[in-house]
Amino acid sequence: MIDVREIMDILPHRYPFLLVDRILEVNETSIRALKNVTFNEEFFQGHFPGQPVMPGVLLVEAMAQAGGVLLLSGVEDRKNKLIFFTGIDNCRFRKPVVPGDQVIFEVEVINVRKTFAKMRGRALVNDTVVCEAQLMSAMTERS
């Protein structure tokens, strides 16, 4: 298990944009990550007053962050690398995510070519898929 402090050693994201709280499992080709969704999240102030729903784009971003941890976990000089999100295919939002939900992100590598990767991701709440997508990314040097 990887806690949020170790995640911050791998990813450059910080509050309020770090959307992964813990890595539950990681191996060479897949990762399971967790996000506890609380009413204190900044985005709930405007999305939507009186009926808070986590924006779908943030679910996809959290999936991509989990994928970034997966891709960087096997890189020796990861402190000198960045993963840029380059594309989304076949994205579907199945159910809303609301305060109190615990989202599990499952991301697996489909294909890696040099610095480019294609991954398949799912977000689940109580074992129900709430979002799924194919994600593309590119690894670059940090400046």
Mean pLDDT of the region 53-71: 98
pLDDT at residue 31 greater than cutoff 90: yes
Name the E strands within 1-143.
22-26, 30-36, 81-93, 102-113, 116-125, 128-141
pTM, two decimal places: 0.96
Tokens 């615990």 belong to: 102
Residue 76 has a pLDDT of 87
Q: Which residues make Cβ contacts (< 8 Å) with residue 28, sequence separation at least 6?
A: 74
Q: Residue 118, Cβ neighbours under 10 Å: how many? A: 17
- Residue 13: active-site member: no
**Domain containing residue 13: CATH number:** 3.10.129.10
Catalytic residue among 13, 22, 47, 122: 47
Structural domains of the chain, count: 1
- pLDDT, tens digit (0-9, with 9 covering 90-100), for 65-112: 999 999 999 898 998 999 999 999 999 999 999 999 999 999 999 999
Average pLDDT over residues 26-35: 98
Range of the domain at 31: 4-141
Which residues share a beta bridge with 128?
125
DSSP string, 104-130: EEEEEEEEEETTEEEEEEEEEETTEEE
115 vs 102: CA distance, rounded Å: 32
